[in-house]
Amino acid sequence: MNAIELLKEDHKKVSGIFEKLEPTTERAEKTREELFAELKMNLDIHAHIEETIFYPAIKQAAATHDIVLEGFEEHHVIKTLLGELEAQPVGSEEWGAKLKVLKENVEHHVEEEEGEMFPKSREVLSKEQIEQLGAQMEAEKQNQKKQMGAAG
Find the helix packing angle between 127-151 and 29-49, rounded to 10°. 140
What is the domain count for the chain? 1
CATH code for the domain of 69: 1.20.120.520
**Whole-model pTM?**
0.94
pLDDT in tens, 12-48: 999 999 999 999 988 899 999 999 999 999 999 999 9
